[in-house]
Amino acid sequence: MSLDTHHGGRGGGAQTDVEEIVAVADRVRGAMETVIGGKPEVLRLTLTVLLAEGHLLIEDVPGVGKTMLAKALGRAVDCSVQRVQFTPDLLPSDITGVSVYHQDRHEFEFNPGPVFANIVLGDEINRASPKTQAALLECMAERQVSVDGRTHALERPFMVVATQNPADMKGTYALPEAQRDRFMARVSVGYPAPQAELDMIDSHGARSPLDALAPVTDAVRIRDLADKVAAVHVAPGVRRYIVDLVNATRTSPELRLGASPRATLHLVRAARAYAALHGRHYVLPDDVQALAVPVLAHRLLPGPEAQTRRRTPEQIVAGLVAHLPVPGPR
């Protein structure tokens, strides 16, 4: 059953904005699906984070298409894409860029690093040293780079897609909570369904479908749409619902560390984008529920009791969502 019935003219301008968002998002999604098949939820979440101007953390085992996902996104949106392979010897300046002294002109010139792009793919981010991680994460939060006392603003849209491999933890520096908190959402791609994997053999057989991927929109358009997403209505009841949910993670006896106020803001922004992607100009509790796990779970630390009972933060958040009453009639 689909409830995504569009309103007939009632939303006014907001509704036409939303329809534009849906149209663009459908095109981007269609393009990406030629590369990443059978993962509509992952694609939807990726688009949500893109429109909400957040950063995405993809956590999964190798080979499931983490990098492919990020690349496909970069291709489908006609914008600059940079890729950084994180290794233990990577330095902060390898990301942010360096100032180079020009002897002929007797001055320093700033050579922008790979972070100066619309979409930055940080592969295996947990392999870099904490110092380097910190440099990237600072850029993520502040959307600017400070080198030698000069500040260089990053272009909008700016989205970091970082991947990490949870299985092979040898020689890695796990991201501390404070840095995980800067990612708006965390997804795991997961193995494809058998049918999708069969299709994949065909499509990826001769050459990468990435090469055939033509851009369907551009950075300016995305920037414009992101501004429109910010206008999506969040009813007072839904705001309270979000705060209640975040509060519940802080008071839950199963969690050692709850979600931060930044998580609240991320959740609201993501919910706006998610609602817009579904053609609505207002946020439903359902949007919040659908986003609660990807937006909140990676920021939480389970308490000792939950650890002994092998309850993951995902399960705990889902339990909280299942028990929080949705906002009723005004």
Partner 1 sequence: MPLASLLCLAMALPLLSPFVRGGTWWVPAFVMMAAVAGVSALYRSPGRNAFPVPFLQALAVLALVTPLFAGHLAPLGLLPTKDVVAHLGTTLEQGAHTIDVSAPPVSASSGVMLIIALCLALFMMAADFLAVTARCPGMVGVLLLTLMAVPLVLDGSGVGPLPAIACAGGFLVLLAVDAWVRGREWGMRVPDAHDSSAGVSEAVRRVVTVSLTSAVAVLLALTVPLALPSLRTDVFHTLADGTYIGTGGDVITTTHPLVSLRRDLASSSDRTVLTYRTDAEEPDYLRTYVLDEFDGVNWTMTPVNASNDTRVDGELPLPTGWGSAPSEDTVTTRISLDAESPRMDFLPLPYWARSVEVSGEWYADPGSHVVFSTNSPPTGLSFTVESVDRRPTTEELADTGDPRSLPGDHRDLPRDLDPRVRELTEALTEQARTPYERAMALQEYFTGGSFTYDLAPPAVPGDADPLVHFLLEDRIGYCEQFAGAMAVMARQAGIPARVAVGYTAGERMGDGRWAVSVGDAHAWPELYFEGAGWVRFEPTPASSAGQGSASVPDYARGEREGGPVSPGTVPEEPEVVPTETARTPEGNEEPAAEEERSPSPSGDEEPEDETDSSVAASEHGPRSGADLSWLPAASAVAIGLLLLVLPALVRALVRWSRMAALSTDDARAAHIAWRELRDTFLDLGGTWTSTESPRAAAERMARGGPVPERSGSRSTGPMSGSARRPVSRETVAALGRLALAEEAARYAPAPLPSEGLREDLRTARAGLVSVVGTGARARAVLLPRSLAPWRRPRPSPTPEPLTS
Which of 80, 129, 172, 247 binds partner 1 (CB under 8 A)? It is 247
H or E element: which one contains 185? strand 185-187
Residue in 83, 36, 78, 79 with CA at minimum distance from that of residue 60: 36
* 207 in contact with partner 1 (CB under 8 A): no
Is 309 a binding residue for partner 1 by CB under 8 A? The answer is: no
**Should residue 240 be labelled a site residue for partner 1 when binding is judged by CB under 8 A?**
yes
Question: Does 153 engage in binding with partner 1 (CB under 8 A)?
Answer: no
CB of 236 to partner 1, least distance (A): 8
Among the listed ranges 67-75, 134-142, 173-181, 316-324, the one in contact with partner 1 (CB under 8 A) is: 316-324
Instruction: Please say which residue, 194 or 325, places its beta carbon nearer to partner 1.
Output: 325
Minimum Å gap between C-beta 275 and partner 1 is: 9
Indicate if the alpha-carbon torsion angle 164, 263, 243, 300 is positive or negative.
positive
Alpha carbons 299 and 266: distance in angstroms, whole number: 12
Of 154 and 275, the one with the shorter C-beta distance to partner 1 is: 275
CA distance 291 to 117: 27
Q: Which of 112, 192, 303, 319 binds partner 1 (CB under 8 A)?
A: 319
Q: What is the DSSP string of 101-133?
A: EETTTTEEEEEE-TTSSSEEEEETGGGS-HHHH
State yes or no: residue 97 binds partner 1 (CB under 8 A).
no
Q: What is the Cα 71 distance to its own chain's centre?
A: 14
Instruction: Determine if 285 is a binding residue for partner 1 (CB under 8 A).
Output: yes
Q: Interacting stretch for partner 1, rule CB under 8 A, among 10-18, 26-34, 122-130, 219-227?
A: 10-18
Locate 202 and state its tokens. Answer: 């065909």
Phi, psi of 96 (to 5 degrees): -80, -25
What's the distance, CA 113 to chain centroid? 21
Closest residue by Cα to residue 300 from 324, 272, 320? 320
Least distance from C-beta 99 to partner 1, angstroms?
Answer: 48
Q: Does 244 help bind partner 1 (rule: CB under 8 A)?
A: yes
Please report, as residue ranges, which positions from 21 to 60 form the binding site for partner 1 (by CB under 8 A). none
310 binds partner 1 (CB under 8 A): no
The DSSP result for 189-239, as a single string, is --PPPHHHHHHHHHHTSSS-HHHHPPP-EEHHHHHHHHHHHTT-B--HHHH
Q: Cα 317 from chain centroid? A: 19
Comparison of 70 and 187: residue with beta carbon closer to partner 1? 187
Assess 306 for contact with partner 1 (CB under 8 A): no
**Span from 30-38, 200-208, 220-228, 277-285 in contact with partner 1 (CB under 8 A):** 277-285
167 binds partner 1 (CB under 8 A): no
* CA distance linking residue 221 with residue 63, whole number of Å: 32
Where along the sequence are the contacts to partner 1 (CB under 8 A)? 1-3, 5, 7, 10-11, 14, 233, 235, 237-238, 240, 243-244, 247-248, 250-251, 280-286, 289, 293, 314-315, 318-319, 321-330
